Amino acid sequence: MKLQTLFEEYLLNHLPKSQSFHPIFEKALQEMLSAGGKRFRPLLLLSVVQSYESLLVKNALPVALGVELLHTYSLIHDDLPAMDDAFLRRGYPTLHTTYDEVTAILVGDALNTHSFNLIANAPLSSDVKIELIKLLSQDGGIDGMIIGQAIDCYFENQTLNLEQLEFLHIHKTAKLIAASLKMGAIICQLDEAIQKDLYSFGLDIGLLFQIQDDIIDETQTSQEAGKTTNNDASKNSFINLLGLNGAKKSANDLASKCEAQLNGFDDALQNHLKILLEKYLYRHL
């Protein structure tokens, strides 16, 4: 069974549930997860596991789902009126527009905390689970996604330089992608050199994705992208700093670098990651 299909079936059978009489919370809790998405981060994790310890893929599914829950929480909060005030996500109305802002905040909070519950209860050794939780809480927290989001919001309508802009998006976007790859390596108990190489590769892939997202925001409608676009006028984006042609050149350069890194991995890992990455590396073209 393909990893994508395996993960989708697992997700649909393990959607988080609220055991209460609240009339809408459980539906809201599941809505953005069942709406779909690329599932890019959990599939990165599972691709590493499939490449090195295929018998552990089933045991890794709760961890992969935990990563997807954490990512989905970040999207829900990113779309809130206090942040990007977006109306569309994954082709569906955002939660705060369908329900209300309080519900959206609490759903995000619930997905965040439940992601760690899933990892803590995964059928893996305690030592491995501790390392997974340490990494995800670091790169999904104050040393990663949160400080990136804080910088993104605080410096609206102020121009950052390229180094600062890359710092912002490495933390806000790239670190969770890098963590997903490294978490797969931790599950397989690969040596530190491979873990480091996968993490570095993930940072570059994550930065590439952000540049591509900025290009999509500039060039596609909300309906085409499945999320609110043309919403970055006050933001620090690669388009606003470098222009469309400059952003495309940066994306091309980074895609070439990522392709070279990918070709340096062993055959099994190359093959599994190429299946996942082939439609993304040059999607800005």
Q: Each residue of 152-175: pLDDT tens digit?
A: 999 999 999 999 999 999 999 999
Half-sphere exposure of 195 (CA within 13 A, CB side): 15
- One DSSP character per residue, 166-219 reads HHHHIIIIIHHHHHHHHHHHHHTT--HHHHHHHHHHHHHHHHHHHHHHHHHHHH
pLDDT reported for residue 228:
83
Give yes or no for residue 208 having a pLDDT over 90: yes
Report the domain count for the chain: 1
pLDDT reported for residue 245:
96
Q: What sign for the dihedral angle of Cα 160, 240, 224, 106? A: positive
Give yes or no for residue 109 having a pLDDT over 80: yes
Domain region containing 182: 3-14+22-277
Residue pLDDT, tens place only, 76-97: 999 999 999 999 999 999 999 9
Give yes or no for residue 1 having a pLDDT over 90: no
pLDDT reported for residue 234:
82
More confident residue, 232 or 115: 115
Let me know if residue 284 belongs to a domain. Answer: no
Q: What is the mean pLDDT of residues 172-182?
A: 98
Let me know if residue 283 belongs to a domain. Answer: no
Let me know if residue 285 belongs to a domain. Answer: no
Mean pLDDT of the residues in the chain: 96
Q: What is the mean pLDDT of residues 197-217?
A: 96
Let me know if residue 8 belongs to a domain. Answer: yes
Let me know if residue 196 belongs to a domain. Answer: yes
Q: What DSSP element (H or E) covers 126? A: helix 126-139
pLDDT reported for residue 232:
76
Let me know if residue 93 belongs to a domain. Answer: yes
**pLDDT band of 250, cuts 50, 70, 90:** very high
Give yes or no for residue 122 having a pLDDT over 90: yes
Let me know if residue 282 belongs to a domain. Answer: no
CATH of the domain at 92: 1.10.600.10
Residue pLDDT, tens place only, 14-60: 999 988 999 999 999 999 999 999 999 999 999 999 999 999 999 99
